Amino acid sequence: MTTQTHAGRTALITGASSGLGRRFARQLAAAGAAVAVCARRKDRLDDLVAEITAAGGKAAAYAMDVQDEASVIAAFSAAETELGPVDTVIANAGMNNEGMAVDLPADDFRTVLDINVTGVFLTAREGARRMMAAGSKDSGRGRIVLIASIGAQKVLPGLAAYCASKAAVAMMGRTLAREWANKGINVNIVCPGYIETELNSDWFQSEGGRKQVASFPRRRLMDEQDLDAAMAWLTSDAAGRVTGSVITIDDGQTL
């Protein structure tokens, strides 16, 4: 992005140590936002902050475990002190435990729900609390984007926990949008299709992964930049009339 469309905003992004979270952080920083990048791998966040500041942006890194309420609150407090009140949140942290349902240990199922659902809830809730305290009802500038998946809409065998968690995120986001509609906070949900990242690269290079890609209508994976336009819009003042939307960006993979 070349224009400073997010100047004056402070954004907090979870799961920013790799993949999409890292991309979102670079994007919003380039657009003029001060960016708080959060994840468990603080060393990788420090590298990202160095990259953003070297490019002229403003960023700070905070260790955060989204399953831990105290950790989430502490990261928001630190970001608020260092960067200013957070008015933009991207709840991106997530994980998956693969396995057919009959073989999936209960603890693995719970872990996916703890991170993908409870973690998103804690992040969004703390963000909303901070926005309300800072006067979002009058400013109308609160923006929260929850990252779900086409797994919220499409059956993905072997990913029962993941699909359940992402479907929960989609409906939770709409519920939060309704609850906070009069508080100047817009909550929207993005459901990306398959994008090759460091977490899934090995799979898509395998025979099974290549067969999966061949089954898509356009026989290709998405690129990280395919989400740029939607994320720039949803986190900006231009999306003032958009809340409670579930937006699928998947290059037709669910068709």
Residues 6+ apart with CB under 8 A from 229: none
pLDDT values of the chain reduced to their tens digit, one per residue, 255 residues: 345 699 999 999 999 999 999 999 999 999 999 999 999 989 899 999 999 999 999 999 999 999 999 999 999 999 999 999 999 999 999 999 888 999 999 999 999 999 999 999 999 999 999 999 999 999 999 999 999 999 999 999 999 999 999 999 999 999 999 999 999 999 999 999 999 877 778 889 999 899 999 999 999 999 999 999 999 999 999 999 999 999 999 999 999
User: Whole-model pTM?
Assistant: 0.95
Tell me how long the chain is.
255
Architecture of domain 10-248: 3-Layer(aba) Sandwich (3.40)
pLDDT, residue 203, reads 83
Angle ∠(141,131,140) on CA atoms, nearest 5: 25
pLDDT, residue 201, reads 81
Q: Name residue 189's beta-bridge partners.
A: 146, 246
What is d(CA 30, CA 138) in angstroms, rounded to the nearest whole number? 27
CA 70 to chain centre: 20
pLDDT, residue 126, reads 98
pLDDT, residue 1, reads 38
Catalytic residue (choose from 162, 180, 194, 216): 162
Tell me if 213 sits within 8 A of 204, measured CB to CB.
yes
194 is annotated as an active-site residue: no
Distance set, CA 173 to CA 10, 61, 87, 209 (Å): 21, 26, 17, 30
Encoding tokens for residue 195? 């994008």
Strand locations in 52-210 (E): 58-63, 88-91, 142-147, 185-192
Q: Name residue 36's beta-bridge partners.
A: 12, 60
Instruction: For tokens 């086409």, name the residue.
Output: 150
Tell me if 131 sits within 8 A of 142, measured CB to CB.
yes
pLDDT, residue 2, reads 43
